[in-house]
Amino acid sequence: MSDASREIMKIHHIGTVLLGCGFAMLVGVVLLLDPTAPDANIGAGILAMVGVPVGTLGLVLIIGHALFRTFKTVRS
């Protein structure tokens, strides 16, 4: 495995970790929401504002890695 392939696999692994963190944050939002506690809802909102972009970035990295591998094998 070449150094370039290792670097590309690192991007895939980082994307997977970010996607998992984003999902975990969104699960935390669901668990934190409480109609009677406004401060919990503020915390859940902040968690959602961070969780969605983190998960989206992870998904973009995974899709980018898949596209790179697809086009790399098509060119070879």
What sign results for the dihedral spanned by CA atoms 17, 22, 54, 63? positive
Question: How far is residue 73's CA from residue 45's CA, in Å, rounded to a whole number?
Answer: 42
Q: For 11-65, how does the pLDDT look when each residue is reduced to its tens digit (9 = 90+)?
A: 899 999 999 999 999 999 998 888 888 888 888 889 999 999 999 999 999 999 9
What sign results for the dihedral spanned by CA atoms 40, 42, 18, 23? positive
- Position with higher pLDDT, 15 vs 76: 15
Task: Give, in order, the Cα–Cα distances in Å from 56 to each of 20, 26, 70, 73.
Answer: 10, 12, 21, 26
In this prediction, residue 76 has a pLDDT band, given cuts at 50, 70 and 90, of low
pLDDT exceeds 80 at position 4? no
pTM of the model: 0.81
Q: Tokens 């996607």, residue?
A: 19
